[in-house]
Amino acid sequence: MLVLVAPGQGAQTPGFLTPWLELPGAAARVAAWSDAIGLDLAHYGTQADADEIRDTAVAQPLLVAAGILSATALGDLSDLAPGAVAGHSVGEFTAAVFAGVLDDTAALGLVRRRGLAMADAAAITETGMSALLGGDPDVSVAHLEKLGLTPANINGAGQIVAAGTLEQLAALAEDKPEGVRKVVALKVAGAFHTPHMAPAVETLAKAAAELSPADPKIRYVSNKDGRAVTGGDEVLQRLVGQVANPVRWDLCMETFKELGATAIVEVSPGGTLVGLAKRALPGVRTLALKTPDDLDAARALIAEHGVA
């Protein structure tokens, strides 16, 4: 069984969209999306530097646009026949398009508002995120909670990202959980997927109320608890609430395993999620769409592992 996944913030690199825009019709499609959301996606995906595309309000719609564009290049999703779709953090919006819950323009418009709202929320208090390298997840989570930090991303394969105030993160750097080799500060604008993002949830809920989601046509696996969600309204509610709740990618991968996944393809800018899958799901074939040069190999893998 094939699982199609979409990466979250931090996967973007300067110029990564350039080769994708050379595909037939891609530049026109991205231009239309840019006009719809008031953001020059082609500029940010081809010419902007690392600092510019680190901006939350830019990175989020850029990642979703790239994910949709690269998946479209593979072919019609109904022909690809994935057994499930999922995305990490903002990648959940990309997955919602794959599942038919939202159309591309609606998803990008909502993501644009999400990014702006999260940037505003991050400006209220100086917060950040740090990755923990090594250690036992249960021990690390208990230690983070003792320090007042949130395990904002529990990614599986031993990877946890902590989030909170800069003071709390400084305390973590001085007092690491037992077994953790290193604490690495991440270059992000704030403590995403924590209660610090509550103001963004309110803004996003108002924006989401304007949309009419459809029920998923493909099994949609949620970051909240790794559960497959069958109703479009619930998918949309989870997309809104997830802004202030931890990402449980570990539980998503457990669900992939339970469903009998045999292959995972990660859309552009791929690499992060297949890296986690290689460690957590041994035996499952993986492929990341980094450039259009990867499309033929991805199609071959999909032809072998897709379900009718």
Q: Which of 193, 196, 222, 268 is catalytic?
A: 193
Q: Is 89 a catalytic residue?
A: yes
Q: Is 193 a catalytic residue?
A: yes
Q: Which of 34, 70, 89, 222 is catalytic?
A: 89
Beta bridge partners of 86: 5
Q: Which residues are identified as catalytic?
A: 89, 193
